[in-house]
A = this chain, B = another copy of it.
Amino acid sequence: MAKIIECVPNFSEGKNKEIIESIIDEVRKVEGIKLLDYSSDTDHNRTVVTFIGSPDRVKEAAFNLTKRASELIDMTTHKGGHPRMGATDVIPFIPIADVDMDECIEIARQVGKRIGDELNIPVYLYESAATRPERVNLADVRKGQYEGFFEKIKEEDWKPDFGPSEMNVKSGATAVGARVPLVAYNVNLGTSDINIADKIAKTVRHIGGGLRFVKAMGVKLEERNIVQVSMNLTNYEKTAVYRAHEMVKMEAKRYGVPVVGSEVIGLVPMKALIECAEYYLQIENFSMDQVLEKRIME
């Protein structure tokens, strides 16, 4: 089976089409890389790119994208609603096929080192690639954002893992990491009361005493006049989609509110959904090797 790694870099330009395309061209140019998706948000002034390929090609594409972004984006004038600390803000490597997390951690280190050495950008390793516990969580790393990093970087605790020990004024700093695939999963509720969605979100998420790998918040769907519990499942292998779903449903009962639907946003690994079928159908002794498409990919 061919080794496949997914990479989902976020860079700090979401408006200027010419700049966005020029940066993404660096991914397109690498042979053997498949660009799966990219989407820009003008309010966030940020673009999220998703591509896959072999370890070597993914490393090359991630570095080239970062290099081009460092040439075309000037963080001194950047404004946007999403927290960010650099031109290429964050680069996660995600194991997809025939690759384990250790290999993705090693790749994160190699790409991080190259960004530090060749582009003179301070690099922080995060999530599974983190070198200290306080750098595991991306939000903790990014705290203070670009503007605050000029001071933060001077603290002994926030010495970069690679690159210079002071900020790159034009490009900021970059977080490079390794993690399992995220699943963005939202459960829609049969009420227009945002307080109910908020309360449920606070109950099911890790920080509120809920499931270990769930981040959640209440969101209002204005057009449909309903609310939803919007979740990020940060490790679907340990906190399954069906468990998050059933927990939202269980909490909604307290308010007499039904679950009226759900949404999967963006890409999802087949295993995350097949595990839900296994649960609800009560399938015994199922192996992913029974899935035709998995066998085809081998």
> Measuring CB to CB, which residues of chain A are less than 8 angstroms from any residue of chain B?
4, 6, 34, 36, 52, 96-97, 181, 188, 241-242, 245, 259-264, 266-270, 273-274, 276-278, 280-286, 290-298
Copies in the complex: 2
Please tell me if the beta carbons of A261 and B284 are within 8 angstroms of each other in the complex: yes
A293 CA to B290 CA in the complex, in Å? 15
A295 CA to B241 CA in the complex, in Å? 21
Please tell me if the beta carbons of A296 and B34 are within 8 angstroms of each other in the complex: yes
Partner of A292, one of B242, B260, B270, B286: B270
A296 CA to B2 CA in the complex, in Å? 11
A285 CA to B263 CA in the complex, in Å? 7
- What residues on B are CB-neighbors of A188 within 8 Å? 284
A292 CA to B34 CA in the complex, in Å? 12
Given A188-B284, A261-B284, A264-B283, CB of A293 within 8 Å of CB of B269:
yes
- What residues on B are CB-neighbors of A269 within 8 Å? 291-293
Please tell me if the beta carbons of A281 and B291 are within 8 angstroms of each other in the complex: no
The interface residues of chain A, by DSSP majority, are classed as: mixed
- What residues on B are CB-neighbors of A34 within 8 Å? 295-296, 298
Partner of A293, one of B262, B277, B281, B294: B294
A129 CA to B81 CA in the complex, in Å? 58
Please tell me if the beta carbons of B241 and A270 are within 8 angstroms of each other in the complex: no
Residue of B nearest to A278 (CB): B273
Residue of B nearest to A280 (CB): B280
Please tell me if the beta carbons of B36 and A295 are within 8 angstroms of each other in the complex: yes
- What residues on B are CB-neighbors of A295 within 8 Å? 34, 36, 52, 267
Please tell me if the beta carbons of A282 and B262 are within 8 angstroms of each other in the complex: yes
Chain B nearest Cβ from A28, distance in angstroms: 15
A36-B295, A273-B274 are known; give 15 further A-B pairs, CB within 8 A. Answer: A4-B296, A242-B277, A260-B282, A262-B281, A262-B282, A264-B283, A267-B291, A267-B292, A267-B295, A268-B290, A270-B291, A270-B294, A276-B280, A280-B280, A293-B297
Chain B nearest Cβ from A92, distance in angstroms: 14
10 A-B pairs with C-beta separation under 8 A: A6-B292, A36-B292, A52-B296, A259-B282, A261-B284, A268-B291, A269-B293, A270-B274, A293-B294, A293-B297
